[in-house]
Amino acid sequence: LASPKEMLIIAEEIANPVYIAAEMLAQAEQDSMAAAILLTTDFQLAVKVNREVELQLQNHPRRLLTEKAIAHYGLIVVVDTLDTAAELSNQFAPEHLKLEVAQPWELLESIRHAGAIFLGSSTPKAVGDYLAGPNHNLPTSGAARYTSALGVETFMKHSSLIEYSPTALYKIADALQVLAEAEGLHSHAESVRLQTEENFDD
């Protein structure tokens, strides 16, 4: 079963604090235990987002629930670099990750664990919720470190297909035999030797 919802935002100074606050509240309004986290390299942005969250909460139709989520599971952290933010994000492995940076595709190369990733300020999480069509059965509670979104393929059986040409086998024969002998598996090594000798007998 899925845990409470979570969103982590990585932002630098170019990000609009109004948009960031709105994204955090969009996450928080779903569940009083929803986590909305901002990692930013810019202290001033952190201050502005904090202020903007308070402003947007004032007339929020789900204020009590949203305020509770922000109070208990909302977090704004200032980090030294985007690399640090990416590493913290990978450790958290969020259900939703938003990259509000100048070069989101470049930062994406450092991201290893996230359920769904939203790139840039023109891609609010609501796009994924309602129209873009990504799988929305996303891993929560750090499960994105070892699994992907739940889908039909999760329940399908797959077979691995392996085929080497005689030449390709010959090129790796020595390495295979060394590994097999190191494990004490003589017949593994012998099966490779016999097949390569037959095709490449000097």
188 is known as an active-site residue: no
Q: Given this model, what pLDDT does residue 146 score?
A: 67
Q: At 27, which CATH number?
A: 3.40.50.1980
Domain annotation covers residue 82: yes
144 and 171 share one domain? no
Q: How confident is the model at residue 38 (pLDDT cuts 50, 70, 90)?
A: very high
pTM over 0.85? The answer is no
111 and 172 share one domain? no
Q: Given this model, what pLDDT does residue 159 score?
A: 66
CA dist., res. 70 & res. 28, Å (int):
6
Tell me the average pLDDT of the chain.
88
What are the tens digits of pLDDT across the range 177-197? 999 999 898 998 899 899 898
Of these residues, 12, 23, 29, 95, which one is catalytic?
95
CA dist., res. 194 & res. 21, Å (int):
67
120 and 184 share one domain? no
Domain annotation covers residue 1: no
Cβ–Cβ under 8 Å, residues 37 and 75: yes
Q: How confident is the model at residue 1 (pLDDT cuts 50, 70, 90)?
A: very low
Span 36-43, mean pLDDT?
97
Element at 75 (helix H, strand E): strand 74-78
How many residues belong to the chain? Answer: 202
Cβ–Cβ under 8 Å, residues 88 and 37: no
Element at 42 (helix H, strand E): none
What are the tens digits of pLDDT across the range 115-160? 888 899 888 888 887 777 666 667 667 667 667 666 777 777 776 6
Domain of residue 187, residue span: 166-199
72 is known as an active-site residue: no
Total number of domains in the chain? 2
88 and 179 share one domain? no
CA dist., res. 44 & res. 31, Å (int):
28
48 and 128 share one domain? yes
Q: Given this model, what pLDDT does residue 119 score?
A: 92
44 and 129 share one domain? yes
Domain annotation covers residue 24: yes
Domain annotation covers residue 61: yes
CA dist., res. 40 & res. 104, Å (int):
14
Q: Which amino acid is at 50?
A: N
Q: Given this model, what pLDDT does residue 70 score?
A: 95
Domain annotation covers residue 155: no
CA dist., res. 80 & res. 105, Å (int):
20
Of these residues, 96, 136, 153, 197, which one is catalytic?
96
